[in-house]
Amino acid sequence: MNAVTIKDVATRAGVSPATASRVLSGNPSTSAESRELVERAVRELDFRPNAQARALRSTRSDTVGLLVSDVRNPFFADLAHTIEQALLELGYVTLLGNANENQQQQDRYLDTLISRRVDGVIVAPQGTDSASIEALLAREVPTVFVDRTVPGLDVPSVTTDSGPGIRAAVRHLAELGHTRVGYIAGPQSVSTGRERLESWTAAIAEQGLSDDPALVHVGDFQSASGSAAVHAFLSLDQPPTAILAADSLMAVGAIAMLHRLDLRIGRDVAVVAFDDIEWFSLIDPALTVISHSVEDMGATAVALLQEVISGGRPESVTLVSELVIRASSSSPVPTPPRSLGRN
């Protein structure tokens, strides 16, 4: 009697050999109906797959792709470390990519990860329209979004609700007496940039602070745009007495420019940053921040991906943000900091 083959199983189940193979290898992309048909055919035919051949054909690579927005950003560096360590404990090797806040660079990495047949992908997406992200989903590569999302795409994600932290920061500055606060916004092409600007706009309206459009500078989540924002703010006839930066790298650029202009943080200008990177608490003065847990975000992203790889459809998770008050935020000085045009 000839040995039963996978083609025999596929014929009995009424599916293609490829589908039968995916079911037998545990691939989560197969439908419940296909799995039931193949499993019944296996029982009826008493099919016993050859273990060695099954291992050679396995689609599992024990690798996961991780694509962060910018490896120079301390928040994403910490996030990548958290995710990599959690994946390693589960037996996965992490292939790390750096999008550099650029959609074309993101897509190049994603195309490579697809070709390498990774078991899953965790990505902080760039922009709102990516053919490579669409290709990931079309190929049913288990995918999780981290920190950011893409409108219209039903992908499990772990993000932060920026609203509570931003409202608390604006309320804190208002209570100190600030009425003109400069906001360094992130790019509006990504979800965090849009959501934080929306939260900022609502918060200053609630507190009755100036809504002068010149007090909002749209940056790109990189340090140079933080420096450019400070330069623009201090060129105004009425410069802001406080500045809030929507991410850590733009805050770093803002701090560098303030130092270059010999303005004292916490005395001449109050400064608040989104993201609590380790050294923000160590500089003098220590920086007031809007904090959210990078450890929780990384651990949750890995847990969600595990569930997707296993064939589940987990709900997205939203973490909370909170204000951590330190010495960099203080009451405004009697006269506002000088503009660049007045020495």
CATH of the domain at 314: 3.40.50.2300
Let me know: does 17 contact 10? Beta carbons within 8 Å: yes
The reply to whether 151 and 106 lie within a common domain is: yes
Q: What's the average model confidence in pLDDT over 293-316?
A: 95
In a domain, 25, yes or no: yes
- Structural domain includes residue 101: yes
Distance CA 61, CA 59 (A): 6
Q: Are residues 262 and 279 in the same domain?
A: yes
Same domain, 167 and 261: yes
With bands split at pLDDT 50, 70 and 90, how would you rate the model's confidence at 32? Answer: confident
- 130 in the same domain as 51: no
Q: How many domains does the chain have?
A: 3
Residue from 289, 283, 217 nearest 248 by CA: 289
Average pLDDT of the segment spanning 58-73: 88
- Give the model's pLDDT for residue 27: 65
Alpha-carbon distances, residue 120 vs 54, 61, 168, 308 (angstroms): 21, 10, 37, 8
250 shares its domain with 198: yes
C-alpha angle 25-27-30 in degrees, rounded to nearest 5: 120
Q: Which of 71, 121, 58, 127 lies closest to 95, judged by CA?
A: 121
Domain shared by 115 and 144, yes or no: yes
Same domain as 10, residue 38? yes
> What's the confidence (pLDDT) of residue 282?
94
Q: Measure the CA–CA gap between 266 and 286, rounded to whole angstroms.
A: 9
174 and 114 in one domain?
A: no
Instruction: Say if 342 falls within a structural domain.
Output: no
Is there a single domain that holds both residue 167 and residue 274?
yes
pLDDT for position 34: 86
At 209-232, the pLDDT tens digits run 999 999 999 999 999 999 999 999
Residues 197 and 131 in one domain: no
- Same domain for 127 and 83? yes
Has residue 337 been placed in a domain?
A: no
pLDDT band at 52 (very low <50, low <70, confident <90, very high): very low
- How far apart CA 99 and CA 127 sit, in angstroms, is 11
Domain residues for the domain of 47 are: 6-57
* 254 & 174 share domain: yes
